[in-house]
Amino acid sequence: MVDIDASQMTTRDINLRLKSNSFSNNGITVKNSQGRHNLGVGLSSNTEIKFEGNVGYFCGGLSSQCQIVIQGNAGWAVGDNLMSGSIAVEGNAGASAGSTMRGGSLFVRGNSGARTGISMKGGHLVVGGDSGFMTGFMMQKGRIVVCGNVGEAVGDSMYEGEIFVGGTIGSLGSDAIVQDASEDELIEVWEMLAKEGIAERPKFKKIVSAKKLYHFDSLERLEKNVI
């Protein structure tokens, strides 16, 4: 493991270093991350990266393949547009965790804020604690698992994908419905939790799209196939 001290470097230098280290098999530890924004952005190879301390906005954003561990809390949009690889936040995450992620996995051991998994297009997002309002807003694909409670308007206007909630649901968003999770699905979700070191096996509720917003109810003359 290589160590670098963030307090002595610019964000650009840290990210360039993380990119250049991407090709070695040994991981890299970034000490004193001190809530800095935009750490570990735009990375694209299989490297283990550890941030010691809190990170600011967009940590691990626009990245693929690497395995990031944040030993602290993360600011807004941790793992935004993640394509593959994994990010684990050992503390809490701010708003928009995993926004628009298209692959890979994001794990938040604590709570995560509003709009968790907003416009998510693939991959897995697991929250060990609670998540805020509008979790899964306009979600398109993938799976969100919240072990605790979710806030209001969960799954609002989602297209596809599924949201599993272990605790209470503040309210369902437009076009979101609760469906029974099958035994197989529950086992799959519990296995996902076990991988993150969570032994509990909550009886999850599953939220999906009712698909009633898929089409405009009516079309104008010219939008139909007749003149």
Partner 1 sequence: MVKPSSQIWTPEAIEDVHEKAELGRYRIRGFSSFQKVPHFDDLVFLSTGLTRFPLEGYKEKCNTKVVIGHRYASQPLELATPIYITGMSYGALSQTAKNALARASSMVGVATCTGDGGMLPSERKNADKLIYQVLPSRYGSSPADLMQSDAIEIVVGQGAKPGTGGLLMGVKVLGDVAEMRDLPSGIDQRSPTRHPDWLGPDDLSIKIEELREATEGRVPIHVKLPACRVVDDVKLAAKAGADAIVIDSMLAGTGASADIMLDQSGIPTIAAIPLARKALSELGLDGEVSLIASGGIRNGADVAKALALGADAVAIGLAALIALNCNKEIPEANYEQEIGVPAGYCRHCHTGKCPVGITTQDPDLEQRLDFEQAANRVANFINATSMELALITRSLGKGDVRSLEPEDLVALTMEASAMAQIPLAGSNKVY
Question: By the criterion CB under 8 A, which residues form the site for partner 1?
Answer: 11-12, 15-16, 37-38, 41-42, 44, 56-58, 61-64, 76-77, 80-81, 83, 96, 99-100, 102, 115, 118-119, 121-122, 137-138, 140-141, 157, 159-160, 213-223, 227
Comparison of 32 and 84: residue with beta carbon closer to partner 1: 84
State the minimum distance, in angstroms, from the CB of residue 34 to partner 1: 15
The residues pairing with 66 across neighbouring beta strands, listed in sequence order, are none
Comparison of 183 and 214: residue with beta carbon closer to partner 1: 214
State the minimum distance, in angstroms, from the CB of residue 123 to partner 1: 11
State the minimum distance, in angstroms, from the CB of residue 218 to partner 1: 5
State the minimum distance, in angstroms, from the CB of residue 147 to partner 1: 23
Is 172 in contact with 166 (CB distance < 8 Å)? no
State the minimum distance, in angstroms, from the CB of residue 90 to partner 1: 21
Comparison of 77 and 193: residue with beta carbon closer to partner 1: 77
Comparison of 35 and 129: residue with beta carbon closer to partner 1: 35
What is the C-alpha to C-alpha distance for residues 98 and 104, in angstroms, rounded to an integer? 10
Comparison of 136 and 202: residue with beta carbon closer to partner 1: 136
Is 26 in contact with 50 (CB distance < 8 Å)? no
Place of tokens 């405009």: 216
State the minimum distance, in angstroms, from the CB of residue 63 to partner 1: 7
What does the buried/exposed string (b/e) look like for 166-175 if buried means 16 or more CB atoms within 10 Å of the residue's CB?
beebbebbeb
CA 196 vs CA 35, 109, 120, 129, 176: distances in Å: 24, 8, 20, 13, 27
Is 97 in contact with 111 (CB distance < 8 Å)? no
What is the C-alpha to C-alpha distance for residues 9 and 203, in angstroms, rounded to an integer? 46
Comparison of 193 and 207: residue with beta carbon closer to partner 1: 207
Comparison of 58 and 107: residue with beta carbon closer to partner 1: 58
Four-CA torsion 162, 116, 121, 90, nearest 10 degrees: -100
State the minimum distance, in angstroms, from the CB of residue 92 to partner 1: 17
Tell me the CB-side half-sphere exposure of residue 60, using CA atoms within 13 A.
41
